[in-house]
Chain A
Amino acid sequence: MDKRFISRGLDRCSTPRFLLWVAPWFALLAFGVYAAGLCLVKGLNQTNMDNRFAFGLWIFLDLTVIALGAGAFFTGFLLYILKLKELRAVINSAVVIGLVCYSGAVAVLMVDVGQPLRAWFTFWYPNVHSMLTEVTFCITCYLTVLAIEYLPILLKNRKLREVPGFLVFEFELHKLVYVFAGVGTFLSFFHQGSLGGLYGVLRGRPFAFREGFLVWPSTFFLFIISAAAVGPSFIVLTTWLVEKITKKSLVRPQVFHLLGRISGLLLSVYVLAKTVDTLIWINRTSPGRGFAASQYYEWKPFGTWILFAEIVVFGLVPALILLAPRFRARRAWLVSAAALACAGVALNRFVQTVQTLALPTLSFDKFLSYTPSWQEVGTFLAVVAYGVLVYSFSFRYLVLFPEERELKRETRVEEPEPVLAGRF
């Protein structure tokens, strides 16, 4: 039915099958939009956040998806600035993932603030000392860059290419891709860092507060490195997942290896930096503000295991796996390590958001807990559904993996021709 929209040379499932795949995601999206609508219309009393737990599931989600979406800027940086040509195979997919992650995060932020219609105030009355101002500016600008980067991919659609104007526009836009990659890299470095800085500057929260360099706390740099490290891992994970679901070979093994190696290298740098930062925090920063670091881990369930899990289980272990060529060569090890790395960044963002707010500061304070309401979970699921849908439609109608056609041809050549007796 929709064959004329699908690029030549690409095999895609039948329309009914595709509709069967997207239907549950649309249902989930509708449920989530309803939940978000309740929050917008009736107010944030629909959530389980309160005056003490001012941030919750949504901020955790925002921080995590923005870190995972870092693959878009970092792959662009590696391909267009550092000229790692092999990554051309995944750049389109990375851009779609980035667009989904960032637009999803911005949409949730709009629900999360009490007065969404005042969002423009940040641009009109910016407090240049606030990390949130930096985040708002950079995310908005970078989302625009991602939308522009998505345009050439969209305009390569078989049907849209029939419009000559679109072809010319796409060609001209493509010439600027290096500029956008550079701008995107700059903006991304800054807002990934600012997201870390959000917590590092909280001098009233000794668990989160960090010393740093000039106006940037150490979390500024840790967030940049961790995002750059897991971005390629998330591309490995999503590409592998798409290959499994569609039962197609989409990129060559070398691309997986390269992404794994880059992720492993950066992850090991992150683990080292995080370890040094933790030691400084335990021995100097926290005691200097009147709090022994050990007391943060007296409150269950947040024992020292969480620090161990963050640095060793979800940091050092995947880093070592990804750095070892023998393990990296095996898809199961590579994907498992990539999944561990992604889980690690999610855990780190959870610790920054939830543990920071759960811990008491005053001597007569209590440890607090928080469970998100169904409206919060629904909105969270809407972002997941939205991401799957945008990616599914993009995969079906656009060329997300330029090597797919070649790989398909190569697979066909390798397949033995059936011998038909008496054919000639």
Chain B
Amino acid sequence: MTRYGMTIDVDRCTGCGACMVACAVENNIPPAHEGATDRTGLTWIRVFKVGQAFVPMLCQQCGEETPCVSVCPQKAVEVDPATGIVGQMPERCLGCRYCMAACPYHARYFNWHDPAWPPGMEKTLNPDVAPRMRGVVEKCNFCHGRWHAAKQQAVAEGRDPAHVEYTPACVEACPTKAIRFGDLATLPKPPGSVRLLESLGTEPKIYYRSSKVDLRAGKEPSRG
């Protein structure tokens, strides 16, 4: 069984935002609506400036007692047992936003507006990813479309589709190789890596390393 995860070397991140753009293009995230703010926009991955460091934040793909899964009243959020990826089904989402209130990483986004692309730009949409409608929640799913494509490729080549390797768009776009992705069993974790809010016991699958900022510190004295 594969457990996909990520390592993010904060020291390498320059805050260029290439990961955010690549993510938006890959996952058919529409351009920000006029008047959208950093609290109403859609950014499955967002780079925060923390002191002198840049910290890319995305869904941490919690593995244990996943906060958003248990609260959803209509099973629109599920953890895929084959990959450990927390999936969101916008087609089933009621838009109650209970999952957003439950997420400690604030990595879930609501479609406050109808998705709209400038004329002509709709031709660039990724045919492997369905655009989401107004009134539903969405979030990072480790580029599910790419995972499906990798599985199909594996089947076509006669390999085991349960253990495929693929690269999410943000990992591919990062010019400094700050983000790495793979099966957590084999993915090398830089020494001193930490997981955010580990003390909550949700077993996130993203590891951060930073010599610039202590991501466990701040206002959580007993954390870590």
Which residues on A are within 8 Å of B, measured CB to CB?
43-45, 49-55, 112-115, 118-119, 121-122, 124-127, 129-133, 136, 198, 201-206, 287, 289-292, 295, 298, 356-357, 360-365
Contact B73 A127 (CB under 8 A): yes
A68 to B220, CA, bound (A): 37
Q: CB within 8 Å of A: which of B188-224?
A: 196-197, 199-202, 213-224
Contact A50 B219 (CB under 8 A): no
Q: Which 8 A-B pairs have the closest CB atoms?
A: A114-B95, A114-B135, A290-B199, A363-B218, A204-B104, A290-B223, A50-B39, A54-B97
A51 to B106, CA, bound (A): 7
- Supposing A54-B100, A205-B104 touch, asked if A126 and B74 sit within 8 A by C-beta, the answer is yes
B114 at the interface (CB under 8 A from A): yes
**A129 and chain B: residue at smallest CB distance:** B70
A362 to B104, CA, bound (A): 7
Q: CB within 8 Å of A: which of B89-104?
A: 92-98, 100-104
A122 to B94, CA, bound (A): 8
B103 CB contacts on chain A under 8 angstroms: 204
Consensus secondary structure, chain B interface: loop
Q: Which residue in B48, B55, B70, B134 is a CB contact (below 8 Å) of A43?
A: B134
Count of residues in B whose CB is under 8 Å from the partner chain: 60
Contact B220 A291 (CB under 8 A): yes
Contact B39 A51 (CB under 8 A): yes
Contact A44 B110 (CB under 8 A): yes
- Supposing A113-B95, A122-B94 touch, asked if A52 and B39 sit within 8 A by C-beta, the answer is yes
B58 at the interface (CB under 8 A from A): no
A365 CB contacts on chain B under 8 angstroms: 106
Contact B100 A362 (CB under 8 A): no
**B37 and chain A: residue at smallest CB distance:** A50
A125 CB contacts on chain B under 8 angstroms: 74-75, 92
**A131 and chain B: residue at smallest CB distance:** B71
Contact A122 B134 (CB under 8 A): no
Contact A114 B222 (CB under 8 A): no
Beyond the given A114-B135, A118-B95, could you list 14 further A-B residue pairs with CB under 8 A, ordered by the A residue number? A43-B113, A44-B110, A51-B40, A51-B110, A52-B106, A115-B133, A122-B94, A126-B75, A136-B73, A204-B67, A204-B102, A289-B199, A291-B222, A363-B218
